[in-house]
Structure 1
Amino acid sequence: MKTILLSLLMLILLTPTVARAAFYQWTDADGVVHFTDNRSHIPKQYREKAHRVDVSDTAPAVVTPGNEVVTRPAPPTTVEPGGHGESWWRERYKSLRTELKALQDERAGKEQQLVELRRKRTIFQRARDRAAINTMEAQVSTLDARISEMLNRIAALELAAAQAGVPVEWRQ
């Protein structure tokens, strides 16, 4: 009897189950496609345009706001990767990396100014120097957040390019 129960338990545990997950997809103002599994993570300005994407072992389907399921046909093989040509992908990567470099350079300059302000604060002990330090720290923190956002946008573009089958040389 124990053998039968153990065999049934093993059979139940080893039986594959259908995997299902719901994700939300939206495209931001820059044309970057984002995915999340939590609707509250979608920025407010994009929540109205977000679509629920049900993912399972079968063909992917989009659930529209009216709960109508629309299955997506397989994309034709003659279409350019991601629906864009080589110049679009190269320009997109170039613009994001250029903006990231500018933010990093600006942050380095602000960090140098912050070091100078701290040096002055140590020497003179003035209250206005402390206020300047607080302001500069806030600016550096803001730049850190923008750099993090830019890195996320580059990672999202990289993911979209990988999913679209964009050649590696177009991503440089």
Structure 2
Amino acid sequence: MKTILLSLLLLSLLAPSLVRAAFYQWTDAQGVVHFTDNRNNIPKQYRDKASRVEVSDSAPAVVSPGATTASPAALAPGGHDERWWRDRFKALRTELKTLQDQRTGLDQQLVELRRKRTIFQRARDREAINTMEAQISTIDGKISEMLNRIAALDLAAAQAAVPVEWRQ
């Protein structure tokens, strides 16, 4: 009896689990892809366009509402072709690079303003420094948002089984 129980236990541990989870995917007006496991979390204006993503041990499959036949776009990773994925990543990274370059320029201007402030001690220099620091803070927020958007797109690409080469 013990050997039967032990063998059943081993079989149950070795057998792959058939756990499935349903997620919803939608793209907002800015083109950012969002995922949720609760349909009520989807904004009302995007609910009709949301697709159900079945997640299991196998590759993910996107089930569009009302779709009966598989189109070539639906067979592509995430419903988009290679060009779309590459362009999306390129656009986000280009915007991030622009923001980082802009921040570097502002940092250099700030160093120069602080140098002037040390030499001349003028009130208008202090105002310029405060303004510059506020601009830098704003750009830091934009850079953080851009990094989050890139991470979200990378997560969506990973979940849609997009090849790594397309994400470069």
TM-score by length of 2: 0.66
Q: Deviations over 1:121-143 (max 9, x none)?
A: 11111000010001100100010
Aligned residues: 138
Other structure's SS at 2:128 match = helix
Other structure's SS at 1:34 match = strand
Is the contact made by 1:110 and 1:140 (CA closer than 8 Å) also made in structure 2? yes
Instruction: Indicate the RMSD between aligned Cα atoms, in angstroms.
Output: 3.8
Match of 2:99 in 1: 103
Match of 2:29 in 1: 29
Alignment of 1:71-150 (within 5 A): 79-150=75-146
Cα gap change, 1:89 to 1:115, in 2 (>3 Å): same
Match of 1:167 in 2: 163
Distance 1:82 1:37 in 2: 17
Deviation at 1:25, TM superposition (A): 5.9
Alignment of 1:18-57 (within 5 A): 26-35=26-35, 47-49=43-45, 51=47
Other structure's SS at 1:166 match = coil
Distance 1:31 1:71 in 2: 19
Cα gap change, 1:53 to 1:89, in 2 (>3 Å): closer
Match of 2:151 in 1: 155
Deviation at 1:26, TM superposition (A): 4.8
Deviation at 1:119, TM superposition (A): 0.9
Distance 1:156 1:88 in 2: 16
Other structure's SS at 1:29 match = coil
Deviation at 1:32, TM superposition (A): 1.6
Cα gap change, 1:171 to 1:121, in 2 (>3 Å): same
TM-score by length of 1: 0.64
Q: Deviations over 1:98-123 (max 9, x none)?
A: 11001000000001101111111111
